[in-house]
Amino acid sequence: MVLATGCAGASGTSSISTSSAGHKQFVPGDALGNAGKSLRSAIDHELDGVPPEKLEDKNKAISVLVGQYLKPGMTFKDAQAILTAAGLRVTKRENIMRHPRPDYRDDVVGDLVLPGRMFSKTELVISLSPKEIGDYSTVNGVNAGISTVWL
């Protein structure tokens, strides 16, 4: 699997995406970059003015918001391009943490460090589950949430 390392819109590439209804659709590369920028703007708007100690209270709102941009059935390449364009660091979950379930370790994660409190790290984490273990053709599931780790 190759992780997207740049905004698809910057290269002007295009791809075929699958809609939530399962229909194939043509998505110009710049549309993916714009979707990522729009996602980031929506995240920033949702979290604007929320004190660090209340960020985790926004998990449901963030999950709904992310679900508007990233859906099961879309291509993995498109989903990664959107995350990258949104400014998230994209990597396989196994590089971040270990878990006994192989299907969990096979996820690809986008993470973004948020402003936090002293001696803590608060992150927005969006995980993309592949169609099957090792099959990164389409996204099978999307999860999003905010978590704080005390240092």
Domain enclosing residue 81, as ranges: 8-150
pLDDT computed for residue 114 by the predictor: 87
**93 assigned to some structural domain:** yes
**2 assigned to some structural domain:** no
pLDDT computed for residue 93 by the predictor: 66
Contacts of 44 (CB under 8 A, 6+ apart): none
- The percentage of the chain sitting over the pLDDT mark of 70, rounded to a whole number, equals 72
The Cα-based distances of 63 to 38, 75, 101, 128 in angstroms read: 15, 19, 23, 13
- Confidence band, pLDDT 50/70/90 cuts, at residue 28: low
**1 assigned to some structural domain:** no
**42 assigned to some structural domain:** yes
- Confidence band, pLDDT 50/70/90 cuts, at residue 109: confident
Task: Specify the number of domains making up the chain.
Answer: 1
CA dist 96 and 32 (Å) reads 25
pLDDT computed for residue 126 by the predictor: 95
Residue 85 has pLDDT above 90, yes or no: yes
* Strands 24-28 and 14-18, sheet pairing: antiparallel
**82 assigned to some structural domain:** yes
**15 assigned to some structural domain:** yes
**113 assigned to some structural domain:** yes
**74 assigned to some structural domain:** yes
- Confidence band, pLDDT 50/70/90 cuts, at residue 6: very low
pLDDT computed for residue 62 by the predictor: 95
Lowest-pLDDT range of 25-34, 50-59, 84-93, 106-115: 25-34
- Confidence band, pLDDT 50/70/90 cuts, at residue 65: very high
Q: What is the CA 99 to chain-centroid distance, rounded?
A: 20
CA dist 13 and 44 (Å) reads 27
Residue 45 amino acid letter = H
Lowest-pLDDT range of 59-63, 116-120, 135-139: 116-120
Residue 10 has pLDDT above 80, yes or no: no
Mean pLDDT (whole number) for 6-25: 41
